[in-house]
Chains A and B, each alone.
Chain A
């Protein structure tokens, strides 16, 4: 089975722009979660999508949004980019999104640099 894939792997944007990141989960997985990883804050949960619906959300401003398509692929959008949005964005997939009992499989991440 192919693993979780994320595109693009690297991205450079300027302040004020918007960006869309893509995540393709493992085949058969219906849950996709997104995390932001920065040196200062570490790994933080952004949101989780399950069957095209946002089911859970972390403590991030509304500039961060996402969606999930019928094939379970997910996109994450950040509008009005700020320097502090520079981070590695990781997505993880699992069958049902039960983070406690299921294994979350992580993609390699998209590294976003905001100038």
Chain B
């Protein structure tokens, strides 16, 4: 069975500071990993995904994530936070077929301080 752990239900950073959202996974098969963002009253938008190509994955809005197999991690980073980055972020894992759909972490609420 797959599972995802996101450390920190809330993360607060100052505008312009580094954003680091943590995600650890467990999977019995080579995983496919995703980060999604959810703005209030909206659905999920894909930020980036890892599908066993490059371990450093670049996504939209300046976000990137690095797959580290030895640490079973897929942390999301952004060098400089913008106010518009305030949202809920979800890490998810899947096998290639997605027989169990996407398995999501509990989410991290990112707060940007002016």
State the A residues within 8 Å of B (CB).
4, 33, 35, 42-46, 48, 56, 58, 90, 92, 97-101, 103-109
Distance to closest chain B CB from A13 (angstroms): 20
Interface of chain B, main secondary structure = loop
Assess whether A43 is in contact with B104, with CB atoms less than 8 Å apart.
Answer: yes
In the assembled complex, B103 has its CB within 8 A of some CB on chain A: yes
Q: Tally of A-B residue pairs with Cβ under 8 A?
A: 69
**Across the interface, which residues of B come within 8 angstroms of A100, CB to CB?**
32, 51, 94-98
Size of the B side of the interface (Cβ < 8 Å), in residues, is 26
State the B residues within 8 Å of A (CB).
32, 36, 41-46, 49, 51, 90, 92, 94-107
Q: Given A4-B43, A106-B45: A99 and B107 within 8 A (CB)? A: no
**Across the interface, which residues of B come within 8 angstroms of A108, CB to CB?**
41-43
Chain A to chain B contacts (Cβ below 8 Å), 18 pairs: A35-B101, A43-B90, A45-B103, A46-B101, A56-B101, A90-B43, A98-B96, A99-B32, A99-B97, A100-B94, A100-B97, A101-B32, A101-B96, A103-B46, A106-B36, A106-B43, A108-B43, A109-B42
